[in-house]
Amino acid sequence: MTTSTRGTAHGTRGIPAVLVLEDGRSFRGRSYGAVGEAFGEAVFSTGMTGYQETLTDPSYHRQVVVMTAPHIGNTGVNDEDPESQRIWVAGYVVRDPARIPSNWRSVRSLDDELVAQGVVGISGVDTRALTRHLRERGAMRVGIFSGEALADEGMMLAKVRQAPEMQGADLSTQVATKESYVVPAIGTKKFTVAAIDLGIKGMTPHRMAERGIEVHVLPATATVEDVYAVNPDGVFFSNGPGDPATADHPVSVMRGVLERKTPLFGICFGNQILGRALGFGTYKLKYGHRGINQPVQDRTTGKVEVTAHNHGFAVDAPLDTVSDTPFGRAEVSHVCLNDNVVEGLHLLDQPAFSVQYHPEAAAGPHDAAYLFDRFVSLMEGQRA
């Protein structure tokens, strides 16, 4: 057994592995999950629970996720918690993986699941030092290398620097459904919603279905005609990976929806798309918000909610003034209390709003569930 001194490997199962950051800093550890090489944008998530939801969230496509919680894999893997059909993270970095998972729902270990899905990971890394580095220097490209992929540092660094950057990446169509499908309402059907899938998490249509909404999930390439072909009471724009500055097609579809004044709700990427549709810019945050305990204030009620986040970009809108947009007056409705980043937008002259965080709460606290009720109220208001 290796010792667990700070900064050295203390996983006992894997073979030697190295993590190399684009600025040249490296960390040694043991392979966790698949052996080989993986590249992506290094980001950290502070969630203490919910690793299955994180791994399967399509918004993490092309990102190597560093978990700040030191013990990962304790509750194994079950078949109920995934947010999509597969693991999307490009690579996985943990400190101290569970050797024996223990939970009544667990059907296999996380290590085995990562191997089965070919996801390269590394354990035994001082994730606290790595997170502090990313916090100071900002998110950057990273590579994980093990087995035959291990090479001298200069060669590994060169490969990391060849990997694509997140800024400018157009990724939604790589993760979204190719065919539309319907998530039926639970109980009596009250509304029909067209949901544009830009990387949707499974819990999102479920939260709508729970409220009597029949959800027609449409591919990211859906047109305004496709949206109105389902005769929707409301239109939803999902979360998703990549740089919102590249999302020209969803922005133009959203403008078509805003022109018709159909009730509209967006989450995360959907919030950035509303920002762009209204004429605001988006920008890359230094290291983003990822975790399940971020404080957000709903400025329409003054209430503070603890919320789930996963975003690396944000909308650039004025916090304290009402903006005139092509679709009437707009306002920042929600703000992150840690750093004053825009966390929500709403229109004052028509039924449209969005949030930058995750009210579907998978994983995370349910404080923001009222936003789905707000969407239902907008659809009720339109009918009245």
Ligand X SMILES: NC(=O)CC[C@H](N)C(=O)O
What residue ranges bind ligand X (CB under 6 A)?
A: 59, 239-242, 268-269, 310-313
Please indicate if the annotation marks 124 as binding a ligand.
Answer: no
What contacts 286, CB < 8 A, 6 or more positions away? 135, 138, 139
* Cβ nearer to ligand X, comparing 111 with 197: 197
Token pair for 323: 């903006």
Measured distance CA(171)–CA(244) in Å, rounded: 10
Please indicate if the annotation marks 293 as binding a ligand.
Answer: no
Q: Is residue 348 within 8 Å of 321, Cβ to Cβ? A: no
CB of residue 368 to ligand X, shortest distance in Å: 14
CB of residue 47 to ligand X, shortest distance in Å: 13
* Cβ nearer to ligand X, comparing 141 with 311: 311
* Chain CA centroid to CA 305, Å: 19
Give 115-127 as a DSSP string.
HHTT-EEEES--H
Measured distance CA(338)–CA(350) in Å, rounded: 30
Please indicate if the annotation marks 269 as binding a ligand.
Answer: yes
CB of residue 60 to ligand X, shortest distance in Å: 8
* Cβ nearer to ligand X, comparing 239 with 350: 239
Please indicate if the annotation marks 272 as binding a ligand.
Answer: yes
Please name the helix (run of DSSP H) or strand (run of DSSP E) that holds residue 130, with its range, or none: helix 127-137
CB of residue 104 to ligand X, shortest distance in Å: 30
What contacts 220, CB < 8 A, 6 or more positions away? 172, 173, 176, 196, 197, 198, 240, 249, 250
Please indicate if the annotation marks 310 as binding a ligand.
Answer: yes
* Cβ nearer to ligand X, comparing 308 with 352: 308
Q: Which residues are catalytic?
A: 268, 358, 360
Q: Is residue 244 within 8 Å of 313, Cβ to Cβ? A: yes
Extract the annotated binding site: 59, 240, 242, 269, 272, 310, 312-313
Extract the annotated binding site for L-glutamine: 59, 240, 242, 269, 272, 310, 312-313
